[in-house]
Structure 1
């Protein structure tokens, strides 16, 4: 994975970046020092091509400069529209996108980033769905599957393989129960669990997965819906209570990964740059 270049960096890679930006119309001194002018040039380029204008030359920006395909990537307009939709400062949207996204929604092979949760699969299999379902029989069947294939069905979390191997785990789970398997997987850049599909307005988990698989814009839209449909989460974000937001979204161990601190710092950085007003105009 490409190392992101950002304000304060000094390296030969920054020099190459500056030269590539100059080829796109910037007028930088290619001195290898990522200062204010280089950050402005990165934002200007990102805005020109439609990428999220965060001033950081990450994997997507560097790939775009190299002529890569950006058709499925998150667009700056998506963030601007979300800020208007949620009636929030654009800097808040930039902050949650920067911190809560894993940076990309797709793997190198074009498949969405996922994580299959075997303990959720166990839970979904033993949960009655229809009138007349026998809860005891569903429990027995789930326990039987857990004994036969504990890597795919298990009361306890774990067994993660990461990357493309997660799709292999999912494929095995779909042979058992397609709906339960898709519901038991977290999807895309924001890792939204499939079982939230109804709350987010999708007619089925299959429709949710189809949308998530279409592009990062669709993944971000699902994330915005996730915030909209959680009153406590939305209230914390509106008030910029970052610790409360992080606890609700990331779980009780949010402090271990400094999610609240990262959100606060990202918000301050994007607010200070003044880009919110310019990009929303």
Structure 2
């Protein structure tokens, strides 16, 4: 829920905010006053201050205490400084390019197992072509030249567990996108991790570690980093998301998110 949302869910949010000490009219309208209360609550508990009442904010409203694994405002401020960009830019990227939550409800990091990446990594790790083809023929949902076979959510972990019985960890783990920013495991070396195991351990630790991997990814690609610094959203989206970025309007979403966050920062400074 965000500014402009309406309905019973908003009314429930307003009641929860009132229980947390705010004084809102429970009218089911997410306007400026409700957004300000959401921002104030997020700042109080250490969440990312974006004014959006998503799953993390709603869960923390109930517990009144932030899960230590969750991303916080201070993490984004540090990442913005590290990358040489303003806070509005990192918040725009965090909103548009992240999956929203780096961990599943059961506590495991969010992953997506990519069978076509596993097939390619077999060759890169020295597995003979005929052996890779034989695996693909026998286990097409796990080893395949074509993408697909997705199960989604926690079921992706079942695919990964089975893959680990068939191929080396560097292939199985490397074929997964990990965490809040869907960083592929096979990038572990260029991102500066000592091993794929160190990368996977970091992905289990916290969303701040997911953000660290994302920052490493940006730093490892000078063109991507330059586009982000210059806020050339089309260039950034094309490099980060691939040539199909226009179909999902990633550049437009990034530009609009940036304008919203930049406007808030200006208002806060006034």
Does 2:52 correspond to 1:62?
no
The Cα of 1:26 is off from its aligned counterpart by: 2.0
2:217 — aligned with what? 226
Q: Give TM-score scaled by structure 2 length.
A: 0.95
CA distance in 2: counterparts of 1:69 and 1:24, whole angstroms: 14
Q: 1:33 to 1:106 in 2, by over 3 A?
A: same
2:14 — aligned with what? 18
Task: Choose the corresponding residue for 2:162, options 169, 172, 175.
Answer: 172
The Cα of 1:276 is off from its aligned counterpart by: 9.0
Task: Choose the corresponding residue for 2:79, options 82, 89, 105.
Answer: 82
Does 2:136 correspond to 1:146?
yes
Q: Give TM-score scaled by structure 1 length.
A: 0.91
Q: Bigger CA drift: 140-149 or 208-217?
A: 140-149
Q: Classify the secondary structure of the residue corresponding to 2:124.
A: coil
- Maintained 8 Å contact 1:89/1:276: no
Does 2:36 correspond to 1:46?
no
Does 2:194 correspond to 1:203?
yes
CA distance in 2: counterparts of 1:76 and 1:274, whole angstroms: 13
- Maintained 8 Å contact 2:45/2:66: no
The Cα of 1:19 is off from its aligned counterpart by: 2.3
Task: Choose the corresponding residue for 2:205, options 199, 214, 219.
Answer: 214
2:101 — aligned with what? 104
CA distance in 1: counterparts of 2:47 and 2:267, whole angstroms: 15
The Cα of 1:209 is off from its aligned counterpart by: 0.6
1:249 — aligned with what? 240
CA distance in 2: counterparts of 1:47 and 1:275, whole angstroms: 17
1:158 — aligned with what? 148
Task: Choose the corresponding residue for 2:262, options 267, 271, 274.
Answer: 271
Q: 1:277 to 1:222 in 2, by over 3 A?
A: farther
The Cα of 1:246 is off from its aligned counterpart by: 0.5
The Cα of 1:16 is off from its aligned counterpart by: 2.1
Output aligned runs, 1:92-131, within 5 Å. Answer: 92-128=89-125
Q: Which runs of 5+ in 2 are unaligned?
A: none
The Cα of 1:52 is off from its aligned counterpart by: 0.5
User: 1:226-250, CA deviations, whole angstroms, 9 ceiling, x for partnerless residues?
Assistant: 1111100000011111011001001
The Cα of 1:275 is off from its aligned counterpart by: 6.9
Q: How many residues align?
A: 267
1:36 — aligned with what? 32
The Cα of 1:38 is off from its aligned counterpart by: 1.1
Q: Classify the secondary structure of the residue corresponding to 2:192.
A: coil
CA distance in 2: counterparts of 1:269 and 1:159, whole angstroms: 37
User: 1:37-89, CA deviations, whole angstroms, 9 ceiling, x for partnerless residues?
Assistant: 11111111001100010000111100100117622111111101111111211
2:184 — aligned with what? 193
